[in-house]
Amino acid sequence: MPERSTIYEVARQSGVSTATVSRVMGNGTGFSEATRTRVLAAAAELDWFPSGTARGLASRRNGIIGLLFPDLGSSDDLEVESPLYVDQVIRGAESAATADGDAVLIAATRGASGRALALAVASKCDGLVVVARALNESDLATLAQRVPVVVLSDQVGRRTNVDAVGVDNRSGLRGLVAHLTSVHGYTDLAFVGGPADSPDSIERFAAFRQGVAAAGLHAPRAPDADGGFTEGGGARAVADLLDRRSDQGRTPPRAIVCGNDEMAVGALGVLSSQHLHVPGDVAVTGFDDLAIARHVRPSLTTVAQPIREIGAEAVRAVVARLADGAAQRRSVVLPTRVVLRSSCGCTHGHGHRETAAGDEQQTSRAGSRA
């Protein structure tokens, strides 16, 4: 690395002050066209461009939005590929950030070192998006009084008094359960949830109970949960569920509602290996509507949520807060939508690219609200 040149060299080389160079490089105005040309020429010649770091210090604006997410990866192959959800959030955040002229700084909070990492990231950002479970609520609050923070869970946001972006888990899942009970007439439903500390999973289970109860059926008190929102997790949970039922001399549930698509895929695998036909013997549903839901056989009935949009909306919220400052807590709840395919028992075209529902399509919408 040759000695990096600074704004001083450029100023001298172009015969103006550093202030003027700064003006030319910034979006600002306040210089003649001739000056602009000379400065740019000098910059090009010296192969210089302004230091984002110095610029950030001086202007109190780094052009960086941080994104903290929980590290769900492990060494197990099946688990590792799992966090497609986070990948989508990252994509959405990136795109909204770029639209606003800043970049996204990502970091996974691994276990105990979470707080330190979070501080390190926060200290470089103008604002922060925090995926649910990436941070405990106390640390969340700490960060929130330093930079604008938006948490990806309406629930958590409410508790910590932090801006939030979430989805309407309840409507989605209730719609799904209503479909299973009313249209297909299933009466023995089981819920296989994700991590017990996932706000989304908790909300989905609550909605599941409501839906089941609303249909006049017996609602289980706790989900058949497992450690992860993963294919492996789903497989293990369903295997356990089946074992337990078998030990009790009971038959498998008529329908298994899973916490997300990946778990549902795991469920499909276990059921298939136990020679239980889906949806003939057991119906299965997911949540998320990832690409895999279309590709797996039978194709997966699920609840779609706009994951990329969640990430994008969160960044927009941070940016808005950056501009606004005061104003009371804001919360955005994005809509979900039931997507009917084959795994619930619906039958329709099985073309490779059939998409979504038909008659029974359900849509639940909720706008943003204060």
Instruction: Tell me which residues touch DNA (CB under 7 A).
Output: 4, 6-8, 15-23, 25-26, 28-32, 34-35, 48-51, 54-55, 57-60
* Element (DSSP H or E) covering residue 86: helix 84-99
Of the residues 6, 74, 142, 187, which one makes contact with a second copy according to CB under 8 A: 142
Q: Name the token pair of 96.
A: 């909204």
Which residues does 61 contact at the CB level (< 8 Å), separation at least 6? Answer: 126
* Element (DSSP H or E) covering residue 256: strand 255-258
Report the alpha-carbon distance of residue 266 to residue 162 in Å, rounded.
35
In the complex, what is the shortest distance from the CB of residue 12 to DNA, in angstroms, rounded to a whole number?
10
22 binds, among a second copy, DNA, none (CB under 5 to 8 A by kind): DNA
Q: Is 352 helix (H, G, I), strand (E, B) or coil?
A: coil
327 binds a second copy (CB under 8 A): no
Report the alpha-carbon distance of residue 223 to residue 287 in Å, rounded.
15
Taking the least distance from each CB to DNA, the nearer of 58 and 116 is 58
The stretch near a second copy (CB under 8 A) out of 31-39, 115-123, 328-336, 357-365 is 115-123
How many residues in total does the chain contain? 370
SS (H, E, C) 30-84: CCCHHHHHHHHHHHHHHCCCCCHHHHHHHHCCCCEEEEEEECCCCCCHHHHCCCH
Taking the least distance from each CB to DNA, the nearer of 103 and 183 is 103
Of the residues 15, 26, 30, 52, which one makes contact with a second copy according to CB under 8 A: 52
Taking the least distance from each CB to a second copy, the nearer of 211 and 311 is 311
CB count, 10 Å around CB of 298? Answer: 20
47 binds, among DNA, a second copy, none (CB under 5 to 8 A by kind): a second copy
Of the residues 269, 279, 311, 345, which one makes contact with a second copy according to CB under 8 A: 269
- Burial class (CB within 10 angstroms; exposed 0-12, middle 13-18, buried 19+) of 91: middle
95 binds a second copy (CB under 8 A): yes
268 binds a second copy (CB under 8 A): yes
Q: Is 222 helix (H, G, I), strand (E, B) or coil?
A: coil
In the complex, what is the shortest distance from the CB of residue 251 to a second copy, in angstroms, rounded to a whole number?
22
107 binds a second copy (CB under 8 A): yes
91 binds a second copy (CB under 8 A): yes
Interface size with a second copy, residues (CB under 8 A): 65
Which amino acid appears at position 137 of this protein?
E
Which residues does 99 contact at the CB level (< 8 Å), separation at least 6? Answer: none
User: What phi, psi does 200 have (nearest 5°)?
Assistant: -65, -45
Of the residues 17, 182, 246, 273, which one makes contact with a second copy according to CB under 8 A: 273
> How crowded is the C-beta side of 11, counted as CA atoms within 13 Å?
12
Taking the least distance from each CB to a second copy, the nearer of 11 and 300 is 300
In the complex, what is the shortest distance from the CB of residue 322 to DNA, in angstroms, rounded to a whole number?
14
Which residues does 23 contact at the CB level (< 8 Å), separation at least 6? Answer: 29, 30, 31
In the complex, what is the shortest distance from the CB of residue 245 to a second copy, in angstroms, rounded to a whole number?
20
Taking the least distance from each CB to DNA, the nearer of 83 and 148 is 148
Report the alpha-carbon distance of residue 176 to residue 193 in Å, rounded.
15
Of the residues 17, 26, 41, 54, which one makes contact with a second copy according to CB under 8 A: 54
- Tokens 């970091």, located at residue: 107
In the complex, what is the shortest distance from the CB of residue 233 to DNA, in angstroms, rounded to a whole number?
41
User: Which residues sit at the interface with a second copy, rule CB under 8 A?
Assistant: 1-2, 4, 47, 49-57, 62-64, 66, 71, 73, 80-81, 83-84, 87, 90-91, 94-95, 97-98, 101, 103-108, 110, 117, 119-124, 142, 145-147, 265, 268-269, 272-273, 290-292, 295-297, 308, 325, 351-353
